[in-house]
Amino acid sequence: MKPGNLLVVVLAGATVALAEPSAEGPMWDLGDPHLNTVPRAAEEAARIATVTALATDFDAPQRFEDKPGGAATVRAMTNADAFSQPSGNISFEDQLDFRVGNGLFRKLWVSSPSSTLASDGLGPLYNARSCQRCHIKDGRGHPPETADDNAISMFLRVSIPGPVDASEAAIKDYIATLPEPTYGTQLQDFAVQGHAAEYRLDITYEEEVVVLADGTEVALRHPTYAAADLGYGPLHPDAMLSPRVAPQMIGLGLLEAIPAADILARADPDDLNGDGISGRPNVVWSVEHDRPMLGRFGLKAGSPTVMEQSAAAFAGDIGISSPLFPAGAGECTATQSRCRDAIHGDKDARGTEIDAEGMDLVTFYSRNLAVPARRGAGDPEVLRGKQVFYATGCVACHRPSFVTHRLVDQPAQSFQLIWPYTDMLLHDMGAGLADNRPEGRANGQEWRTPPLWGIGLTKQVSGHTYFLHDGRARSLLEALLWHGGEAQAQRDTVVGMATADREALIAFLESL
């Protein structure tokens, strides 16, 4: 059987059943303007609802559960390249585009003026010289390991409260912010020659010991962040800082292809079903499509598409202009006049420092970083852990599966049964994880549910096991114990678990 036929076979044999109640979410008319879709018939939608229903039998894996990316899934490699493979279902010709996009993703940009006109335009202020320098091996970044280590894959976002503008006013409950007047929307800790870096990231930790029911002691690190050695004067007194570690890159095109309506159907902002979980969509203004759209990407779902997220990262992280964000000075503000007046790499044959063709290739690469196959999905310990995951209520946010849109022009992402373990919604994670900085509709305690696929390969790919938005958790168990807010009950259940159940839960997570 060809991999592309897997879902068709599943749906053809499925018993028709209605989806779980889903009328509780907000009635947003957002659509999917970034996708060229084929509408679903009612009968097909009913079959999909059956296929993606929550498991009730834990004696064996669900059908095709070992292929989390559908037909785009690839064999799980045993080295650090496990997150760097192209979708398993793209053509030979598309693999060439993937490789060229990979080259641009890895490219080291240089400052202007330079004889290498295709690669100049770095900064003048930046966090890294390439995308790959933050998304190391397409995996997770990490906080500085020691006082002497740099923060190459971590930075601080910054903003101040601001009035709602005309476009934002169209989005209900939008929390307006403005760039910090001197430093913009994120702090850059590197600068090209002749310019001062904006800051140095300073992190201190205090440890709290949590004692589990079986007597196991787990130390949690409480971080404090400071913007030290500010290069352009003090921050605004109302400045809000948010630490961010670069997330892993796999499966982005599949997440982008989930119907917005399916994500919105899971929203329950007023907890009408009484389960204590109040998922909300982030709705943001799209620069690319000039309209409100569902936020999907970023730690608070602040970006609607892979293209827009990539272009924003080029501008903010590397100081590279693109057709969506054409400022040659990148994140430099009006206050940073020397940075604005410097020589930049735009206005040559490319137009912007990376042109539309380059952005298309980087976007194609980012969309097609494949999800590795599950390991040990049928192992009895993993199946027991899956049952614990369900019984604990983790699936209320970490929704196991979706079916992507049928797409006219993206065959690799079209009509795939995928297992990302996320609902793509915002959840209040409590004061312990709060950054107290809003983004779109997300308040200072809300974060998007992160996808869990590939999480068990973090050590293999990235060389560490740092998790959460700022890498404070040094293990999956620590990450679980940081859950609060809507997930407080689940966290408390983990604390009280029998040792065997907790170990099985971790085994399940490591199999994803």
Which positions ≥6 away from 181 have C-beta within 8 Å?
Answer: 160, 236, 333, 335
Record the tokens describing residue 174, joined without a space.
């939008």
Q: Return the pLDDT at 22.
A: 42
Q: Could you give the angle at which helices 488-496 and 380-392 cross, rounded to 10 degrees?
A: 130
Contact 384, 57 (CB under 8 A): no
- Of 116, 109, 235, 127, give the one whose Cα is nearest residue 191: 127
End-to-end CA distance of the chain: 24
Record the tokens describing residue 258, joined without a space.
């989930």
Separation of alpha carbons 323 and 346, rounded Å: 11
Determine the 3-state secondary structure of 419 from DSSP.
Answer: coil
Contact 418, 251 (CB under 8 A): yes
Question: Tens of pLDDT along 97-127?
Answer: 999 999 999 999 999 988 777 889 999 999 9
Sign of CA dihedral 490, 139, 306, 66: negative
Q: Return the pLDDT at 493.
A: 98
Q: Which residues of the chain have pLDDT under 50?
A: 1-26
Beta bridge partners of 449: none
**Rounded to 5 degrees, what are φ and ψ at 338?**
-65, -35
Separation of alpha carbons 287 and 281, rounded Å: 18
Distances (CA, A) of 37 to 69, 252, 257, 260: 19, 17, 9, 12
Concatenate the DSSP letters of all residues of 434-491 into one string: -----BTTB-TTEEEPPP-TTGGGHHHHHSS--BSTTS-BSSHHHHHHT--GGGHHHH
SS3 content of the chain, % helix, strand, coil (to 5): 30, 15, 55
Q: Return the pLDDT at 8.
A: 37
pTM score, whole prediction? 0.93
Residue 68 preceded by cis peptide, ω within 30: no
Task: Estimate to the nearest angstrom the gap between the alpha carbon of 11 and the chain centroid.
Answer: 29
Q: Could you give the angle at which helices 380-392 and 499-511 cross, rounded to 10 degrees?
A: 100
Record the tokens describing residue 183, joined without a space.
């430093």
Beta bridge partners of 288: none
Q: Return the pLDDT at 147.
A: 72
Q: Return the pLDDT at 28.
A: 67
- Of 510, 263, 216, give the one whose Cα is nearest residue 389: 510
Contact 189, 225 (CB under 8 A): no
Separation of alpha carbons 409 and 183, rounded Å: 40
Which positions ≥6 away from 166 have C-beta within 8 Å?
Answer: none
Record the tokens describing residue 336, joined without a space.
């940073």
Record the tokens describing residue 173, joined without a space.
């409950």
Separation of alpha carbons 315 and 113, rounded Å: 18
Contact 22, 286 (CB under 8 A): no
